[in-house]
Structure 1
């Protein structure tokens, strides 16, 4: 008898993503500081563009408003984009505060 579905990386990608325009300096273990641009964000991870030096499996630490430093690892790359999954899920109340600080346009924010 099945005990329920286990979430996979593909399932996590279905989480609501919020468009943001957030430049960060990521800490990479081997390459040091890397400038990246976060294009969208969810409670599970984020996507960057202009990430031509990032490879699948790379780990970085970024700093987000409200929660500070958080580690993430690259789960996919395509052209100059890369998708990262956080080491831990961001709590909903913290995530909503992050979105409010990164999306000054209220029309882009989800209703509570």
Structure 2
């Protein structure tokens, strides 16, 4: 895709990532519905496992518990994984509720 997205959220690679194993459906303007295997999520984005036919900057819309629909841009892609950045940062008070609903590894969940 020429031009790519102009990402307004800076890359916060230090954001805490929470492991998940969740199959979700992403909506893409060219490909329609695509299956994504979500393997971690943070307040600024998520990572998926698997091969994607997407270029850097392409957008997908996903639906997450507590957050609802949120758009994300592909930041990087290798043969086995891909990293997406949300178009907006997930609110700090919504994030723990989303994590609890996704039920990642309880050892890594914060105690509140």
Could you tell me the TM-score, scaled by structure 2's length?
A: 0.85
TM superposition outliers: structure 1 runs of 4+ over 3 Å: none
Q: What does residue range 1-112 of structure 1 map to in structure 2 within 5 Å?
A: 8-9=10-11, 12-103=12-103, 105-112=105-112
- Paired residues in the alignment total 104
Which has the larger share of helix?
1
| Structure 2: gaps of 5 or more residues | 1-8
Distance 1:109 1:78 in 2: 28
- Conserved in 1, the CA contact under 8 Å of 2:27 and 2:33? yes
Q: CA RMSD in A?
A: 1.5
Distance 1:31 1:105 in 2: 32
Distance 2:79 2:32 in 1: 22
Could you tell me the TM-score, scaled by structure 1's length?
A: 0.85
Larger Rg: 1
